[in-house]
Amino acid sequence: MAAPDDLEQLVQPGQVLAGKYRIERILGKGGMGVVVAAHHLQLDEKVAIKFLLPAAVARADLLARFEREARAAVKIKSEHVARVIDVGVLESGSPFMVMEYLEGMDLSARIASDGRLSVVQTADWVLQACEAIVEAHALGIVHRDLKPANLFVTRGADGLESIKVLDFGISKSSAMSGSGASDMTQTQSMLGSPFYMSPEQMQSARTVDMRTDIWSLGCIIYQCVT
């Protein structure tokens, strides 16, 4: 978790980032980064901005992971992936990513709030996630961290709830480099969330393919309906 001083220097309501994004409030924070709600001054549009904290900027692997997340999200055009609108670097050296602002809660929070979901609701939401993931797979991108916390339940202009897949930060891609797989994961590294990881991902995150995401979706379905 970042020290309070770090957050106060980076995130203050009313502060303007990159000359056009006025911070409104913190939406979430962790050991590596912060997500804030902001207002695009020129477009008069509410957005979400994700950026790394100073301690994370000093780590090359976390910088690479942040860049990988932005590139993956931009390539996938599905309506069920949170859109990336802009990227840049703050004066502090921290990279930032501007995304569409989503109203709602993640599926993990929804399950905690509502309890067991119906089979019909579960099937609808997981199929929406599948639309995003099948497009990612067609582009050679394997998410590797599908879990309820990375499926966001939001409400559209039509009033209907839908799913947005979040956080491609540890995705594996064979489409983002000129040759071979763009994956900096060491063979014995464990990346992902153990409760939702396939056995082969636990053994080697580097060598998994799209089938590991299918396993994770199965785990999500089981949790939703039970």
213 classed as catalytic: no
Residue 75 neighbours by CB distance under 10 Å:
18
Sequence-ordered alpha helix ranges (H) in the chain: 4-10, 54-57, 60-75, 107-114, 119-138, 199-203, 211-225
Whether 225 contacts 116, CB under 8 Å: yes
Q: What is the largest CA-CA distance in the chain?
A: 49
Name the 3-class secondary structure at 1: coil
Q: Give me the residue label for tokens 């979430």.
A: 28
Catalytically annotated residue among 145, 167, 183, 213: 145
β partners of residue 45: 40
Active-site positions?
Answer: 145
